[in-house]
Chain A
Amino acid sequence: MSTTFDKVAEIIAETCDIPRENIKPESHAINDLEIDSLDFLDIAFAIDKAFGIKLPLEQWTQEVNDGKATTDQYFVLKNLSDRIDELIAAKGA
């Protein structure tokens, strides 16, 4: 059974044409994989569809801009996968 990270990595590999083996749990989507904000919208769209959720990108961006969070919390892939799992759990609650 594939994990949330595996699914996210597959989405990123397919959407951004990045070799799957280069995408690791500790990879930062922006700093390491050099995914820009427009490409990340395609990723968010695919994640929203795949998991039946809505990634709160506006809220995350606001928190980062306000200094209340770091980009690592949302864009390091293992952390992004944890956030996705939380959103899935919240949806089912």
Chain B
Amino acid sequence: MRLEYFQMLDRIVDINVGERTIKAVCTVPKKSPVFEGHFPGYPLMPGVLLIECMAQTTGWLASALCNFSGLPMFAGVKEAKIRTAVFPGDELEFEGKVVHEGSGYTMGEAKGRRGGKIVCDASITYRIVPFPSPQFRKTLQDWATRLDFPLKELIK
């Protein structure tokens, strides 16, 4: 997890396009400027960044389902719950599911776990927007490859 770069996930460990599910893992860094402010003397993973983790998890699945034809832009979150505190060094697993692929939008769900226990969950809306440039599509695909996203198997 590179908190300062908003690159929240370390690795995609499972993606099932047929069932429209995905799993990803990450480890909260032990040190980060984020924790210098949140909070001094009591480093705590900000809840909004857990929401970002969930949005990125299901976002990668949405990318796979639309064949990287556009960028799943995080547009809405509902029923977001941060169920317990998350700390530096915690190992997290995120599960995502796409519940509906509409025309130009995708509705998803996600939850995060630590040691099998749910720490957060939410329903997420994405707009599928055109890439600003062909280069950006490649940048995103390169990023996906670094996360072990099975690009060659899934994207035609």
Contacts and interface: CB of A to CB of B under 8 A. Distances in A.
A69 interface: no
B100 A48 contact: yes
Interface string B72-101: 000110000000000000000000000010
Contacts of A44: 102-103, 105
Contact of B75 (A41, A49, A55, A56): A41
Contact of B127 (A41, A49, A54): A41
A45 B102 contact: yes
20 contacts: A38-B75, A38-B76, A41-B75, A41-B102, A41-B105, A41-B125, A41-B127, A42-B125, A44-B102, A44-B103, A44-B105, A45-B100, A45-B102, A45-B105, A45-B107, A55-B102, A55-B103, A57-B102, A57-B103, A59-B103
A21 interface: no
Interface residues of B, number: 10
B37 interface: no
Taking residues whose C-beta sits less than 8 angstroms from the other chain, chain A's interface range is 10 to 19
Contacts of B105: 41, 44-45, 57
Contact of A54 (B76, B102, B107): B102
Interface string A52-64: 0011111101000
B125 A58 contact: no
Q: By CB atoms of chain B within 10 A, which of A41, A44, A48, A58 has the most?
A: A41
A48 B75 contact: no
Contacts of B104: 57-58, 61
Given A41-B105, A54-B103, 18 more contacts: A38-B75, A38-B76, A41-B75, A41-B76, A42-B76, A42-B125, A44-B105, A45-B102, A48-B100, A48-B102, A55-B102, A55-B103, A56-B103, A57-B103, A57-B104, A57-B105, A58-B104, A61-B104
Nearest to B104: A58
